[in-house]
Structure 1
């Protein structure tokens, strides 16, 4: 009986713990040597996967946004820590986590095997950044859980970015001075002195 009770309590713990973990922008992973390696160019603001309040779970913006170019195509990666049916969407805000626009409307959740012992489902999609510049823009990942299609649950994860265009160079090009080309030498001319007139006497006939 005690064994059955312990098993029941353990089962409840295993069921209840995952309720706080769902999806987030991919953050990092450990190598075989135990080192932490960042594997995403759009890391989340924090490592929480249970942010239910939009748009970013009340998580403050970080001081280290990732820099991209306007119009750049970015490979966005995220991970699911607890399997749920549904789909994902990715959104963009120019500033202050407001007025989000859709970059990726629907990415189906296609991996449905069970997740245990730290295993995750990893997804990636290419999205094109808006052709604007901004210092405080945000990428937002939304997980739409569809166990109850009439009342889907939403989970959020945000990543801080900047869009900065290449600036034209202000350096003046170096002035190239052409090498001096010597003038061709004129052919030498012999100087001939004119002969002096001599006194010529002309004999006149009487």
Structure 2
């Protein structure tokens, strides 16, 4: 009975593209703090990994859920600064019998609009028992070092002081626009001074 009352933490690993900070354990931690992981006291250790791709092509996203909570994933892109990333999904929560806030659900943007590239991915109420993969269409833009954010919103989860009801991973990207396609003006132009 005691095991049923302890909070279960959901964690995931970003397998591809390469994460911007080193995962320090088998669960993919640290991944609590908005916008890109780490914790409030430790932002994590940068890997220096940068994934290069051409604008307008599809990015192959691979994640592995390491511990279960019902929920979904979202992917967003910041061109110049991580401040361009959207806030975490707005939760609906309630106070449980133990007096702690628990999430019930989170808002999904449909259809997704920049900076969100995909929302409501890998929606699940039972454990994801294998690596999850998706092809994410990238905008045709130029950016020397932009940030791809992948988050997991968890339902039926107690509030975490480092990240509320969401876990966070990011990857640094370098995108070179395809000259044969129009530039995607829904995203800001690259600021060369960052």
TM-score range, shorter chain: 0.5 to 0.7
Larger radius of gyration: 1
Partner of 1:141: 150
Greater share of helix residues, 1 or 2?
1
Question: What is the CA RMSD across the aligned residues, in angstroms?
Answer: 3.2
Measured at CA, do residues 71 and 61 of structure 1 come closer, stay the same or move farther in structure 2, by a change above 3 Å? farther
Contact 1:94 1:138 in 2 (8 A): yes
Q: 1:131 aligns with which of 121, 125, 140?
A: 140
Aligned runs of 1:29-178 on 2, under 5 Å?
A: 40=16, 42-45=17-20, 46-47=22-23, 48-57=28-37, 58-59=43-44, 61-100=46-85, 101-110=115-124, 112-113=126-127, 121-147=130-156, 153-165=165-177
Q: TM-score, normalised by structure 1?
A: 0.56
Contact 2:70 2:155 in 1 (8 A): yes
Q: Secondary structure, in 3 states, of the residue corresponding to 1:147? A: coil
Using CA pairs below 8 Å that are at least 6 residues apart, which structure has the higher relative contact order?
A: 2
Deviations 1:146-180 (A, max 9, x none): 11599971000111110024689xxxxxxxxxxxx
How far 1:95 moved relative to its partner? 2.4
- State the distance in 2 between where 1:166 and 1:108 align: 29
How far 1:134 moved relative to its partner? 0.3
Q: Which runs of 5+ in 2 are unaligned?
A: 38-42, 86-114, 181-194
Q: Where has structure 1 moved over 6 Å in runs of 4 or more?
A: 149-152
Greater share of strand residues, 1 or 2?
2
Q: TM-score, normalised by structure 2?
A: 0.59
Measured at CA, do residues 50 and 64 of structure 1 come closer, stay the same or move farther in structure 2, by a change above 3 Å? closer
Q: How many residues align?
A: 136
Deviations 1:66-109 (A, max 9, x none): 10011111111111100110000011111232212100011133
